[in-house]
Structure 1
Amino acid sequence: MPPCLCERIRDLAGGPVSLGAGLRTNTLWVLTGDLGVQLVSLGFGVVLARLLVPADFGLLVTVQILTGALGFLAANGTSEALVRAKVLGPRDVRTLFALLLVSCTAICAALNLIAPAFAAWFGDPRLEPLLRLSSLGFLLRPFMAVPTALLHRAMRFREFSVLMFAGGLSAGLASTLLAFLGLGAASLALGGLVGALVRTLLSARRAGWVPALGFDPAAARTLGVYGFKLSVNDIIQYARAQTANTLISRHLGAGPVGLYNKGDSLAEMPNDLLSGAAYQTLFRALASLQDDREQCAAVFLSALTLVSFYAMPLYVGLLWVAEPLIVVLYGEPWAAAALPLQVLALAGPLRVIANLSRAVAASHNQLGREIRIQLETLALLVCGTAIGLHWGLVGVAVCALPGFIHNAARLAGLANRTLGLGWGRLGRALWPILRLNGIMALVLAATDLALTTAGLAGSRVLYLAAMVGAGGALYGAVLLLLPPLGLQGESRRWRTLTQPRFLRSIIGRK
């Protein structure tokens, strides 16, 4: 996926070959790092799901509702503000570090003060010590955020990806060991602290950064305005993501919120992995091309086509394999997460559209308009979740769909207006992908019917293998033999990769 995207960016931008090569390499490293983190997270998640119970995960999710939102406030848009800065000097870096140190220390102290009231509001005393433990992570944030932002600004995505993987691996190992020793939900929080500490130490070393304090009012204003708007936007978006978790935890308890969060996390995984990797390089490319609307439009549409091609079949497949996938991975106690996962999979393609549209808004400094869209979506999700609670977890998932539809439509509209696209061009970019996935849905339905008729659907492992095989075979054949419009370059790259080595050598000599 990323190599073709980067080639397309280079070609459309008309820039030097080194720009295309750099974007290609950076996107590959981002994707590789994200994939590694996702696989490590999934692997340790399977183990931890069998060592712990849904309520343990639900307790941590409840704590993260608060700490996650404050984390965006503490970060203050550091990374993105540094990426957009035309000139960055030592005083700017020292000023940012000082601001982060003060804000994060204050947040840590505040969390310890409100821990008893937080636990009382949710009606679970176990939340008080867990919140105090999680608050310690804020003391590490300034020492991790600054060097990580410097690596991002320097486009050193290789080091960035290695750091992410090392932190995820350390956190997973520590959480697993502590869960095995019987620490319950605390094992998850302590594992997160271990991972953050590893990332902090490694990022400072790789960036060559030594902590130093300073304050420059001009630097604080210049970097702070954009960073503040970005932080507000991120907090609102995070509040959207945590709306269901908050209300479920408040009204249904820790167990149900653990189940719902598991389904929602799996539904978000393809978007996190694919459009998340594309977002970072797309944002940087659009920011550099922002004076040329037509080139930006072509780059955006190319990215949307490519990411949708890889993400959409995963969501279509989840409509059939959600229940066997969850039970095979996590065990029978998690089976109730399957139906919410199937419903939320319907919103998967909408998440991809919304996320890539956000790259347009961020790169063209349309954050004020995006904030209004996110507030509208937040209101819809709060109302929808409150209504859906009457029908349990499935009701919450169903009533969340209007919010996803609104968010994707409004953000895509903002991208259209910003780039002068028009809905027709957007529709033409997505139509081949929609048509192909409609065909794949028919193939999966036929495969499901055949397995059921033959009495083989009862074996979850066999069912998973057959469905994945059928869908993968169709998609692979189409990509290699009949690639949709806009994906011919990707098809050529895959044909080259899948040719036997001896055949490639013969073709090369000719």
Structure 2
Amino acid sequence: MANLRRSLIINFFSTSGSTVLKFVVSVILARMLSPSEIGIYSMTLVFVNFAHVFRDFGVTQYLQREADLSPDKIRSATGVVYTTSWVIALSLFLASNALGTWFAEPEIVPVMRVLALGFVLIPFGSVTSALLAREFAAEKQAIVNAVGTISFCVSCLLLAKLGFGSLSLAWANLINIAACVLAYIPLRPAKLPWLPSVAHWRSVVNFGAGSLLANMAGAINNAIPDILLGKLGSASQVGLLSRANSTVQIFIMIAGSTVSYGAISYLAQIFHRSESLVPTLTRATVLLTGIGWAALALTAILGEDIVAALYGPSWATAVPAILPLALAAAVGMTFHYIPLAILAIGRPYLSAVPTLVSLAARIGFGVLMYDGSLVRFAWALCAATIVTMPLVMYQQNRYFGLSMGHLARALAPSALVAIGCCAAALLLQALVPAILPPLVRLLIIGLPLAAVWYLLLRLTRHELVDEVHRLAAPIKARLALLRPNP
């Protein structure tokens, strides 16, 4: 646990720093690129992200949860990921014309082709990345993350300034991948084989097939909003939905992969020791919702000021979609660790079932509820999330013995903290003059809200208090050293 906690802290600062930098870049790009240009890239990225599911073929999860990971198994996993990645690269390149024709957006074609080139390079670093995560080697991954982030941000802004439009994001993505691959070379684990093999391909494929189904369902489920809205509405609405969702996901973007870092490996170790996963799943969810629910609630209340401050007045029509998207995110956060736990116990097929139900619900509600407005489409996505949750509740009770009653009692402090933060935000919003610039209003409101959040954690005796104090302890110690001796 100590090693994992240290890795989580390193991962948090690495991913949050990366996310903040990329977020700043996205804010700048919102003023350099039009909603249509960002929408074209978002629509294309949907298909590329879906292709990543086939490219990985569950190799990452396999390498993190396999109990006896021999060099031959690693070589077999390497062979699988090389094969799938290069096949996907060729498929995306050849499918680019058809995709541009289907959406009646010819600019999609060059964007797709540039993104396809990334699949040629990805395999050279993906196995190393998975093994570093298995070993909780967050400091090495942080180095790679820094190299990739800086490469992406610099190239993205430069290319956008030169007038590359949506292609600036695509080329920056390719440069990011190339930089990461180069950075992984000196960080490879000792005795990691270079050459691929097919000796144990069946064990990789058997797990990978189930993981592929789950990941494929997840990728389609994530892609459906952009695809469906792109078909029913326009590229501009896709861009607006993307900005609304980005606003809602600010907390997740800042926390980055920390909320899931090492989860499969850690849960798999507990499972292999034949211990119950209930205490770990409960505590992890309590810690996540203790800050996540409050962050989502505040985003919904302060959404207008956040959008105006970050993106500018041209994105104001995205604001009404924030509330339903925030509600859906809060519901999903409650069961964030269940799919990861199912992968950890070696049952990847099971995690696909709720996702498939959500996929069908998103399509159904999206078609039935869409009336041309962005907000109705956002409420359709929210409704789809809510109707899927009973199935996830059944799974967590059936396979882990975690009842909804037990989880609800554990999450009561998180709910009280979120409600208290909402009340404080509404009061502060009313007190701070509306004539002030949005960013100034947010800065004035932010510090009191942070104090209220911490006070509510103390009053509700939330488990997150101990973690906050543990993180603050080194800072207090350093400050004490800086104080002059009397």
TM-score normalised by structure 1 residue count = 0.88
Matched, 1:79 2:60: yes
Change (3 A) 1:461 1:275: closer
- Compute the displacement of 1:494 (Å): 5.8
Partner of 2:441: 463
- Compute the displacement of 1:233 (Å): 0.8
Among 208, 215, 229, which residue is 2:198 paired with? 215
> What is the RMSD of the two structures over their aligned residues, measured on CA atoms?
2.3
Partner of 1:24: 5
- Compute the displacement of 1:373 (Å): 1.1
Tell me the distance in 2 between the aligned counterparts of 1:133 and 1:286.
Answer: 37
Q: After superposition, where does 1:42-191 map in structure 2 within 5 Å?
A: 42-191=23-172
Tell me the distance in 2 between the aligned counterparts of 1:419 and 1:89.
Answer: 29
Matched, 1:362 2:343: yes
Which amino acid in 1 is paired with 2:449?
Answer: G
Tell me the distance in 1 between the aligned counterparts of 2:254 and 2:348.
Answer: 23
Among 218, 223, 226, which residue is 2:207 paired with? 226
Q: Report if the CA contact (8 A) 2:86-2:119 is conserved.
A: yes
- Compute the displacement of 1:293 (Å): 7.0
Partner of 2:450: 472
Q: After superposition, where does 1:162-311 map in structure 2 within 5 Å?
A: 162-207=143-188, 211-216=194-199, 219-271=200-252, 273-274=254-255, 276-290=257-271, 295-311=276-292
Unaligned runs of 5+ in 1: 1-19
TM-score normalised by structure 2 residue count = 0.92
Partner of 1:7: none
Among 368, 372, 394, which residue is 1:413 paired with? 394
Select between 202-211 and 306-315 the one with higher mean Cα deviation.
Answer: 202-211
Q: How many residues align?
A: 481
Which amino acid in 1 is paired with 2:437?
Answer: S
What's the % identity of the aligned pairs? 21
Select between 35-44 and 488-497 the one with higher mean Cα deviation.
Answer: 488-497
Among 433, 442, 467, which residue is 1:490 paired with? 467
**Residue-by-residue CA offset, 1:264-314 (whole Å, 9 max, x unaligned):** 123234235548413233332221111567642111111111111111111
**Residue-by-residue CA offset, 1:133-179 (whole Å, 9 max, x unaligned):** 21111111211212212222332121112212321221111111000
Tell me the distance in 1 between the aligned counterparts of 2:482 and 2:47.
Answer: 57
Tell me the distance in 1 between the aligned counterparts of 2:481 and 2:287.
Answer: 25
Matched, 1:332 2:310: no
- Compute the displacement of 1:504 (Å): 8.8
- Compute the displacement of 1:35 (Å): 0.9
Tell me the distance in 2 between the aligned counterparts of 1:273 and 1:449.
Answer: 27
Q: Report if the CA contact (8 A) 2:16-2:253 is conserved.
A: no
- Compute the displacement of 1:87 (Å): 2.6
Tell me the distance in 2 between the aligned counterparts of 1:458 and 1:488.
Answer: 34
Select between 84-93 and 387-396 the one with higher mean Cα deviation.
Answer: 84-93
Tell me the distance in 2 between the aligned counterparts of 1:165 and 1:502.
Answer: 27
Change (3 A) 1:286 1:112: closer
Tell me the distance in 1 between the aligned counterparts of 2:133 and 2:272.
Answer: 23
- Compute the displacement of 1:99 (Å): 2.4
- Compute the displacement of 1:80 (Å): 1.2
Tell me the distance in 1 between the aligned counterparts of 2:472 and 2:106.
Answer: 58
Which amino acid in 1 is paired with 2:243?
Answer: K
Tell me the distance in 1 between the aligned counterparts of 2:3 and 2:393.
Answer: 28
Among 436, 445, 450, which residue is 2:417 paired with? 436
